[in-house]
Amino acid sequence: MKVTLQNLTKVFPGRSKNNHADVVAVNDFSFEIADGELIGLLGPSGCGKSTALNLICGLQEPTSGSIFFDEDDVTNLPPEDRGVGLVFQNYALYPHLTAMQNILFPLQNIKGAERLSKADMQKRAHEVAALVQIDELLDRKPAELSGGQQQRVAIARALAKMPRILLLDEPLSNLDARLRLQTREEIRRIQRETRITTVFVTHDQEEAMSISDTIVVMRSGVVEQIGKPQDVYDNPMNLFVATFLGTPPINVFSGEISGGKLLIGKEALFETNGFPDREVYVGIRPEGFIPDGNGPLHLNLRNIEVMGRDVTVVSTHGASVNPVIRSIISADSSIDVSATEVSFSVKRAKVFVFDKDTEARII
C-alpha cells in the first residue's frame, strides 16, 4: 500500500491564557511512502512526529491537505475504516487478558462480512504469534511478560487484523538498551517478512537510521530532509540535519570563506574556488580527521578515550561551537598522549560548510 501525504497541515489553536499562539504541529507535509517501505519519522521532541502519525491513522483530522492510501482519498475516513495497525510506546495491553486473548481481541471486534470464524481467528492469532516469536507465552497475562515480550504481543495484536499500514510510535522507548536493539532488529525482520508499509516514529537518530529504508527528518512541524539514511548522513542539506544525525555528533566550528579558501581561525582547510567571501559554519564528522603533523587544523588535546577498535581524541579549539571536539581515529594511529596539541588534516567528504545566516549547506 502506497501512502501519499499532500500538503498536510495540522494547526492546534493556542488555548492557554498566557499564550494564544496557534501551534503548527505539521506544516505542509508532502511526501510519498512507497509500498512495502519502512519509513522513519525522526526529529526532536515536539517536532510533530506523533501528530503526523495520528493524521495518517485518522485519530486526528488535518486542518488542510489530503492523505491517500494508494489512489483512495482517506482524509475523511474514520480510523477503523483505514485498515491501520497501531503500536504505541506504552503497549496498552489489556492486563486482565492473556497474550492470546489480547491478540484475538481486535479480531473478535470485526463486524460484518469480514468477521472470521472462531477457528480462523485462532489460526490467525497463532500465525502472528509465531511471526513475533511468542508462541510459548500465549497463556500468560501481560504482568507475567517482560517489556520486550509485551511489546511483541502488542505488535502481534496490531498485525492480527492484517493492516494495510503499520504505524509504530516510539515502540521501543520503554525497553532497556539491549532489548531495544534486539526488538528493533525483530521489527525490521517482521516488516521485511510481511512487506507491510510501515511508519516508525522515533527521536533516536541511531534507531531511525538503522531500521528505516527512508528517513524523514523533521523540525518544528517542517520536513527538513527526506532520503536514504546514508544519503542524508553523507549529504545533509542544512546544519540542523547535519547535527541531528551521527554519534558522536558532528563537530561544528565558526569559520569563513576568504580569498578562495575555507578558514577556521587562520588555518586554511581547503580551496573553495568560486565561492564569494562570507562567514560560515564548518561541520567536520568525527571520522573526518586524519592525524597529520603537517595538517592545517591544530587542536588543544584534552584527553584520549580508548574504545578498542577506535580511539576518540577529545580536544578544544577557540572557533569550536561545542565545548569539545571529538575525532575518531584508528587505534593503530600513534598520538602522543602527553602532547598539548594535536594536528589533523581532514577528509574532504566529511566536511560540510553552511551559510552562517541561513544555516543552509553551501559546500
Q: Which residues bind ligand ATP (CB under 6 A)?
A: 12, 23, 25, 43, 45-51, 203
Report the distance separating Cα 185 and Cα 318, nearest Å. Answer: 42
Nearest to 46 by CA among 166, 237, 201, 176: 201
CB-wise, 45 or 294, nearer to ligand ATP? 45
Q: How far is the CB of 169 from ligand ATP (least distance, A)?
A: 8
Q: How far is the CB of 203 from ligand ATP (least distance, A)?
A: 5
Q: How far is the CB of 160 from ligand ATP (least distance, A)?
A: 26
Q: Classify 338 as helix, strand or coil.
A: coil
Q: How far is the CB of 85 from ligand ATP (least distance, A)?
A: 19
CB-wise, 48 or 58, nearer to ligand ATP? 48
DSSP structure string for 208-276: HHHH-SEEEEEETTEEEEEE-HHHHHHS-SBHHHHHHS-SSPPEEEEEEEETTEEEETTEEEEE-TTPP
CB-wise, 49 or 152, nearer to ligand ATP? 49
CB-wise, 15 or 309, nearer to ligand ATP? 15
CB-wise, 204 or 256, nearer to ligand ATP? 204
CA–centroid distance for 46 within its chain: 14
Write down the residue that cell numbers 499564550 correspond to. Answer: 19
Q: How far is the CB of 212 from ligand ATP (least distance, A)?
A: 16
Contacts of 295 (CB under 8 A, 6+ apart): 343, 344, 345, 346
